[in-house]
């Protein structure tokens, strides 16, 4: 049972929820489980991308029920698990009616934790085509807000030359429970000539460094990486040494006690990896701090400490870890993942320093991605919303409940939701995803 479910079912939780008229939040499907019901594929126009992609991940699909406008609307005999809409050939306003015609019965029929997945091409061409590309984004965001019972909707934009092999890891991620708290989002997939086949252990034998790994989201990242086969280098400050060792032992990884703000932090990580005869496949910059105050009350030390840990230290480490001449650094074809935040993307009262640092992370990965493309190193970030951790558990219950409910899924996320999205980005089959910021926030209504 999640922290939210425990809180909801506690005596205080029941009393507060009853007075506020709050319904019990849906229990989300998580892990590598696919939907129980049928996957339905609706193709609009001349395209085989959707069918080719589902075939590549080994998922059969059914034809959609199409609404011609009658009332009551047509329906499915049984709940369906997912509605995949291949809209990659959609470029005219009139074609949007076909989306409505398959979405209306499909949304009504989705099982709990069902999925709507829209595939589209990146906006290009004449004015109408570019307008339609943005219209698809509006459809996705609104559908996500209208779905119930833990169902989600997301939009995947494909480069003009990208194909089924490039989007396969994304389709797998979105259909599975790994994407439980990713909702109402859109990101882009580029073409990649060397995308490997999908596997349930995509990181088998690969070294991944995780900072801030001793607790919370960092520990969840380490555990999920180990599930996917990674050899984890767990990094955290010496004060967290006991917890860090416990996490490293649990995942059969190695522990490195290190303050990431040290000037030689990057070099020490590389030395740790090189001493074992390895190179790094992935770096997850998870370590971060908050020092919240209204800006009028924020002094220089409080300001500087957050920017130093959350942003400047990453940049210094990257300079070393991305130098191919340094033994133990990131190998070609590697991955870098930063942790942004919805506070950075939308702003948050009392967190100017934190918002600056996390918006800076988003800006950093966008800047780095093209510079590392020639080495096939991808650089991305996740932006968590309200995630249930020991830190958020200390927030007063009523305030915490408001934060939980301020998204389309009406609940807080789990640390594993962040970890799953990171593992998707670290997957060698996700070579086509770079320079992207994916929100893991249940479609947080602030800045959505």
Determine the Cα–Cα distance for residues 351 and 146; give it in Å rounded to an integer. 30
Alpha carbon 180 to chain centroid distance? 9
Instruction: Output the six-digit token pair for 382.
Output: 């996740």
β-sheet with 110-121: strand ranges across = 38-43, 80-86, 110-121, 152-158, 185-189
Give the residue among 172, 178, 200 at the shortest CA–CA distance from 54. Answer: 172
The single residue of 34, 76, 354, 424 carrying the catalytic annotation is 354
Question: CA-CA distances (angstroms) from residue 350 to 119, 303, 346, 356, 359?
Answer: 38, 12, 13, 12, 15
Q: How many residues does the chain have?
A: 448
Determine the Cα–Cα distance for residues 416 and 358; give it in Å rounded to an integer. 20
Alpha carbon 346 to chain centroid distance? 17
Please enumerate in sequence order all residues whose Cβ is within 8 A of that of 322, keeping only pairs 6 or more positions apart, or say none: 329, 330, 336, 372, 377
Whether residue 354 lies in the annotated active site: yes
Determine the Cα–Cα distance for residues 414 and 388; give it in Å rounded to an integer. 5
DSSP alpha helix (H) spans, 263-351:
265-274, 300-307, 313-321, 342-346
Instruction: Output the six-digit token pair for 44.
Output: 């609009």
Instruction: Output the six-digit token pair for 137.
Output: 């984004």
| DSSP states along 361-396 | HHHHHHHHHHHHGGGT-EEEEEEE-SB--TTGGGS-
CB of 113 closer than 8 Å to CB of 66: no
The catalytic residues are: 354
């Amino acid at each position: 049972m999640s922290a939210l479910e425990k809180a909801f079912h506690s005596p205080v939780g029941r009393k507060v929820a009853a007075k506020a008229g709050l319904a019990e939040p849906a229990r989300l499907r998580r892990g590598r489980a696919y939907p129980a019901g049928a996957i339905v594929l609706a193709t609009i126009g001349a395209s085989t991308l959707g069918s080719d992609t589902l075939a590549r991940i080994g998922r059969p699909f059914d034809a959609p029920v199409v609404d011609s406008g009658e009332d009551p609307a047509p329906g499915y005999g049984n709940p369906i698990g997912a509605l995949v809409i291949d809209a990659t050939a959609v470029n005219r306003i009139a074609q949007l009616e076909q989306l409505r015609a398959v979405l209306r019965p499909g949304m009504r029929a989705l099982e709990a934790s069902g999925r709507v997945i829209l595939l589209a091409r990146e906006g290009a061409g004449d004015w109408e085509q570019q307008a339609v590309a943005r219209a698809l984004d509006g459809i996705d965001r609104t559908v996500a807000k209208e779905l119930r019972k833990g169902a989600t909707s997301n939009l995947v934009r494909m480069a003009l030359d990208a194909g089924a092999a490039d989007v396969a890891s994304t389709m797998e991620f979105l259909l599975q429970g790994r994407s439980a708290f990713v909702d109402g989002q859109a990101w882009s997939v580029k073409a990649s000539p060397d995308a490997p086949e999908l596997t349930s252990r995509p990181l088998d034998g690969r070294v991944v460094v995780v900072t801030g790994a001793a607790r919370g989201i960092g520990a969840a990242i380490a555990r999920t990486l180990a599930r996917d086969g990674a050899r984890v280098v767990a990094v955290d400050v010496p004060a967290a040494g006991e917890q860090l060792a416990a996490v490293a032992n649990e995942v059969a990884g190695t522990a490195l006690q290190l303050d990431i703000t040290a000037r030689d932090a990057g070099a020490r990580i590389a030395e740790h990896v090189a001493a074992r005869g390895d190179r790094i496949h992935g770096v997850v910059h998870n370590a971060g701090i908050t020092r919240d105050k209204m800006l009028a009350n924020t002094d220089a030390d409080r300001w500087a400490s957050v920017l130093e840990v959350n942003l400047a230290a990453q940049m210094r480490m990257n300079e070393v870890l991305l130098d191919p001449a340094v033994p133990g650094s990131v190998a070609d074809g590697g991955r870098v993942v930063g942790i942004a935040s919805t506070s950075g993307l939308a702003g948050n009262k009392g967190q100017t320093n934190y918002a600056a640092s996390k918006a800076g992370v988003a800006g950093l990965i966008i800047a780095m991605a093209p510079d590392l493309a020639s080495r096939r190193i991808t650089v991305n970030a996740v932006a968590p919303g309200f995630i249930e951790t020991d830190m958020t558990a200390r927030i007063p219950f009523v305030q915490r409940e408001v934060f939980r409910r301020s998204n389309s899924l009406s609940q807080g996320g789990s640390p594993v939701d962040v970890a799953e999205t990171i593992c998707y980005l670290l997957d060698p089959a996700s070579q086509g995803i770079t320079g992207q910021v994916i929100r893991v926030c249940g479609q947080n209504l602030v800045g959505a």
